Amino acid sequence: MIFKTNIPNRDPGESVVLNTGYLLTTILDIIHNKMDIAILDTSATAHMPDVLEMPYTPDCVGGFPANEKLYTYRLGGNTCLSGDIIGEYSFEKPLERGGKILFKDMAQYTMVKNTMFNGLKLPSIILKEKSGQYTLVKAFHFEDFKHRLS
């Protein structure tokens, strides 16, 4: 039996949040295992579930498709899960520990489908005002994880 609907294959909230929201990450470490791997302070599993479920590779500022530029990295999350991989990107300059990577269009699922897997802290929510000023809306802590369990 085949069911048909008139509903387009889109997320109903997409029109509200499409191309909104950034996720600012920090490079914790860079290792080499057949290729360079940058470990970030964020997680595909906990903070970017659409990366694994869709699958989807989010755009990042200054990032290009793998092997398009001189320096290619696999970007990995900071959980213990071996599949916590965000994707492979290339950059014009080498990445460094402590450097930042800014992912674009992250409002959709980073806000509503995130988890605090093993106590991993959720990203803070910061609002950029029209004036250019940033306002902290919410910061998350281990206590938030603890209260979710009880």
State the pLDDT at residue 3. Answer: 44
State the pLDDT at residue 106. Answer: 77
Q: What is the pLDDT of residues 13-51, one digit of tens each?
A: 666 666 677 889 999 999 999 999 999 999 888 888 888
Q: Cα 90 to chain center, whole Å?
A: 17
Phi, psi at 125, each rounded to 5°: -105, 120
**Six token digits for residue 52:** 């694994």
Taking the CA atoms of residue 69, residue 73, residue 74 and residue 80 in that order, the dihedral angle to the nearest 10 degrees is: -160
Q: How confident is the model at residue 7 (pLDDT cuts 50, 70, 90)?
A: very low
User: Which stretches within 32-141 are classed as H helix?
Assistant: 44-47, 49-53, 107-112
Domains, the chain, ordered by start? 17-149 (2.40.37.10)
Strand bridging mode 64-65 / 85-91: antiparallel
Q: What is the pLDDT of residues 110-120, one digit of tens each?
A: 666 677 777 77
With a cut of 80, say whether residue 64 has pLDDT above it. yes
Q: What is the pLDDT of residues 102-146, one digit of tens each?
A: 998 877 666 666 777 777 777 878 788 899 999 988 888 888 888
Which whole number is the average pLDDT over 87-91?
96
